[in-house]
Amino acid sequence: MKKYIMFDLDGTLIDSSKDVTRLLIKSLCDCGYPVAENTRIQIGPPLNQMISSVVPSISPEDNKKVTEYFRKLYKQDGTALTYAYDGAVELIKKLRDEGCKIFIVTYKPRNMCKNVLPKFFDGLYDDLITPTDIEDFDSGKSKIDMFKVLLKKWNTTPDNCVMIGDAGSDAECANAAGITSIGAGYGYAEEDDLKCADYIVSDVKDLYECIKSI
């Protein structure tokens, strides 16, 4: 079993979809972009991409305003409806008991992670990598760059690692970095999004056996 386990956060360890959706819709409406309360939002990509997917015509300046406003709202009330997937805490505890290092690699900015991680995974992970840790992240960088930071920091190599994520981009970036990928099929992925993942599981409870078998 590989000992360096990387987890995406939203859609992999936690379901934050209700909070993100309600606060993003409110942010858009309050910033002059009225959208329906039942607007479907694809959770997972960086926030600015989520905003653009809902309002394709939004200017970069207004996108930034909505992003900042959303983060303000999230800081005040961002985890009211968020919960950890059943079995996620127990999985991490079990992996740590077996000597694994647990890393969270997420597009959620570090200051937003501070609202949610202590609530569910306090003391249960070894490191956190976010876009905040990558210089000029908005200039076309991705989780590949985040993986590089983590590998260098922990003096390890891709063949010692596994990445678990619910988005196709998680698997694609892991593959590009030479890291084994597991698709969290229970998360926010659309149909066929995870087809490039090395493995796919349909439930958190299946993750341990998958990780152990690699």
Counting the structural domains of the chain, the total is: 2
Confidence of residue 26 (pLDDT cuts 50, 70, 90): very high
pLDDT digits (tens, 9 = 90+) for 53-68: 999 999 999 999 999 9
Look up the domain containing 132 and give its range: 4-15+82-213
3-class state of residue 32 by DSSP:
coil
Domain stops at, among 77, 93, 108: 77
* 29 secondary structure, DSSP code: H
DSSP string, 113-129: HHHHHHHHHTT--SEEE
Domain stops at, among 41, 60, 77: 77
pLDDT digits (tens, 9 = 90+) for 124-149: 999 999 998 888 887 778 999 999 99
pLDDT digits (tens, 9 = 90+) for 74-114: 989 899 999 999 999 999 999 999 999 999 999 998 988 98
- Burial label for 123, CB within 10 Å (0-12, 13-18, 19+), is exposed
pTM for the complete prediction? 0.91
**Could you give the maximum distance between any two Cα atoms of the chain, in Å?**
51
Residue with tokens 């998958």: 210
Does 108 lie in the same domain as 194? yes
Residue 109: name the closest of 97, 117, 101 by CA: 117
- Average pLDDT on 37-47 reads 86
Domain stops at, among 60, 77, 94: 77
